[in-house]
Amino acid sequence: MNPVVLITGASQGIGAAIARTFAAELPGVRLALVARNEKNLRATARACLKLGATAELFPCDVSDEAAVAKMARDVARHFGPVDVLINNAGKFAGAPFLAMPVALFDAQIAANLRSLFLVSQAFVPAMVRRGRGDVFNMSSIAGLQAYPNGAAYCAAKFGVTGLTKVMRAELKDKGVRVCCVHPGAVWTPAWKSSGFTGEKMMPAEDIARAILGVCRLSRRTVVEEIILRPLPGDL
């Protein structure tokens, strides 16, 4: 049976690059594409279809418990169980710690950490029942080292790093591999209004190829973490 790969945050940036890379390099892959922006999600799906993959849209706010439950039912009805779960959804907003509104902090935790928890709880149980599955949780260099103006984002990504460790510890004897991905600066649409250029940043396709490479390893091998940084700096 051709594998089912579910990607959250698949409407742009790293998520869209992951979808296109899997579509191009994994013959017969069936893609469940999840994001809030249905218009952009549809563009990703069209690109994947042109590359020969099967792709279906599942618009969803993955920080909303009820929405995730409905999305999981829809995915199961359309594709059956998920083989590879890529928790990529998230967003960034910076502010000094002393000036950060509670609402901004809560929104960052919801988008980056709560979403991962909800989606994983929705799809991992079926992996456990089958005794096989792969989960990739998108953390960040910000989940390994803190920086000014990143209180909410760093807290969320450190949370992703910690949650991934717990998931790995609980699932390692159940046939489910769990990998934490820590990219540094990646050129995505989120940077376009920042004043930075993409010259010193990693292309999103490199993150996608790293994840695909881990998927292709034998089941005897577990990659616990992937850390990717642009050359030559520590972004």
Beta bridge partners of 110: none
pLDDT tens digit string along 135-178?
A: 999 999 999 999 998 999 999 999 999 999 999 999 999 999 99
* Predicted local confidence at residue 200, as pLDDT: 77
Contact status, residue 126 vs residue 81, Cβ threshold 8 Å: yes
For residue 94, what pLDDT is reported? 84
Domains assigned to the chain: 4-228 (3.40.50.720)
Report if pTM > 0.85.
Answer: yes
Q: Is the dihedral of CA 14, 18, 19, 21 positive or negative?
A: positive
Low-confidence ranges of the chain (pLDDT < 50): none
Q: What is the pLDDT of residue 231?
A: 83
